[in-house]
Amino acid sequence: MQPKEILKEHVSKTASLTDEQFDYFFSHFTYKTFKKGQTIIGEGDKVDCEYFVLSGYLKSFFINDDMKMFILQFAMPTWWASDYNALYSGERATISLDCITDAEVLCLTGHDREKLCNEIHASEHFFRWRTNRGYVAAQKRLLSFMNNNARHRYEELLAQYPTLYNVVPKQLIASYLGVSRETLSRLYHS
């Protein structure tokens, strides 16, 4: 399937744009490819895009003072990723984004997103709903952190994204769950 069709199918699930509107909408996106391990957003970068994943897996993550990594999100096809705090506030990136596998993405600048939201009411509707789902998901994950232990969170993650298990190194899954890789290893070997 072509990038344009993938995005169109995705957007049309929450917003009704006419064909001409969608053509215009799509014209603001830039196609890019990245290799496994490549950095898309590095700490301290100026952030001016968000990324729609066409193929491959990305991760967005934070590195603390002890060089420990925490994964905020695995981004898979039809997911969006960026350092949204930096993108909206204009601050430098504290969240990094890189490629777990080779990946194809569509880039949209923050400027163009706002322009599209102004010009096409339906596109603002789309972005409102997208963020909405993200907000609800973040709240759920927060609750899961407070409520559940590591094993529970691990099972939850695999139930929700079975494909991750094969694609993503266990270390990264541990970083997502907020436990050490040793603990994760012990979890599923007992």
Interface residue list for a second copy (CB under 8 A): 62, 64, 68, 70, 72, 84-85, 88, 117, 121, 124-125, 127-128, 131-132, 134-136, 138-143, 145-147, 178
Neighbour count for residue 93 (Cβ, 10 Å): 18
170 binds DNA (CB under 7 A): yes
Distance CA 142, CA 184 (A): 19
* DSSP run (H or E) holding 89: helix 84-89
Write down the least CB distance from residue 114 to a second copy, Å.
9
Query: Which of 103, 89, 14, 3 has its CA nearest to residue 59?
Result: 103
Q: Which of 28, 144, 151, 156: binder of DNA (CB under 7 A)?
A: 151
How far, in Å, CA of 143 to CA of 133, rounded?
15
**How far is 128 from 57, CA to CA, in rounded Å?**
24
Shorter beta-carbon distance to a second copy: residue 145 or 165: 145
With binding defined as CB under 7 A, does residue 150 bind DNA?
yes
Binding of DNA by 141 (CB under 7 A): no
Query: Binding residues for DNA, per CB under 7 A?
Result: 66, 68, 149-151, 169-171, 178-186, 189
